[in-house]
Amino acid sequence: MNEKKTAERGYHHGDLRDALIRAADDLMAEKGLEGFTLRETARRAGVSPAAPSHHFGGSPGLLTEVAALGYRELARRLVAASETGSPADRLKAQGVAYVRFALDFPGRFHLMFRHDLLVKEQLSLEQATGQAWDALEKTVLAIRGQSEGAELDAEGEAMLIGIWSTAHGFAHLTLDKKLARIAECDSDDDMLENLFPAIIDTLWVKKLG
């Protein structure tokens, strides 16, 4: 009997799905999004080449689950960063947490915003994206002096998008090593702990103060 078939039969359904998601995530962590293939994912999980398509319907379904994994981890970090300090402190901590996530998981980070590769209506992705967005929204509400359950008005939405865009752009510039040429920082950690909070202060906190 084929060795991979035998290994595949040893999995429970949920275990096999999780194993394939972990294998795909590990593969992209090592080789980037461009290095992902269903065949290599299956090989790493020790199952037949057809297993990923059988369980996820092809690359988009599997990649969407990896992207959801990324959003859940991002949401966890954003929530943790918002647990102490003033609203301004929370905003800076969340900005740093966002960029830190990108540096820790570049494969996931690049995938999460490649909507051409994902199944956007997949429930797991919608829920995980909402968790991350909600964590930032609560901080914006606090900065604007609104209760946690309030609804952002147009100005608040613009602020939320602006803050996200600032963190997202800084993350890409840091990943691409673009800032090393223009910023007097010794390392990515230095930029994260000093330069980026100063940018948030300049663009958002001081204007609101």
pLDDT of residue 179: 78
pLDDT at 3: 43
- Residue 104, C-beta contacts closer than 8 angstroms, at least 6 positions apart: none
Token reading at 41: 């994912």
- 3-state SS record for 86-102: CHHHHHHHHHHHHHHHH
Residues 6+ apart with CB under 8 A from 158: none
Q: Which superfamily does CATH assign the domain made up of 65-208 to?
A: Tetracycline Repressor, domain 2 (1.10.357.10)
At residue 167, the pLDDT reads: 95
Q: Please tell me the predicted confidence (pLDDT) of residue 141.
A: 93
Of 60, 80, 187, the residue nearest 124 (C-alpha): 60
Cα–Cα distance for residue pair 194/196, rounded to 1 Å: 6
Angle formed by the axes of helices 123-143 and 59-81, nearest 10°: 20
Q: What is the pLDDT of residue 2?
A: 47
Is the pTM higher than 0.85? The answer reads: yes
Q: Where in the chain is the domain with CATH 1.10.10?
A: 12-56
Structure tokens at 54: 């059988």
Which of 57, 58, 47, 2 lies closest to 20, judged by CA? 47
Q: Where in the chain is the domain with CATH 1.10.357.10?
A: 65-208
77: tokens are: 């970090």
Burial label, 154 (beta-carbon count in 10 A; 0-12, 13-18, 19+): exposed
| CATH 1.10.10 assigned to 12-56 | yes
Residues of the chain with pLDDT under 50: 1-4, 6-7, 13
Cα distance between residue 139 and residue 82, in whole Å = 7
Q: What pLDDT sits at residue 184?
A: 67
Q: Which two tokens stand for residue 163?
A: 């803050």
176 phi and psi, to 5 degrees? -85, 0
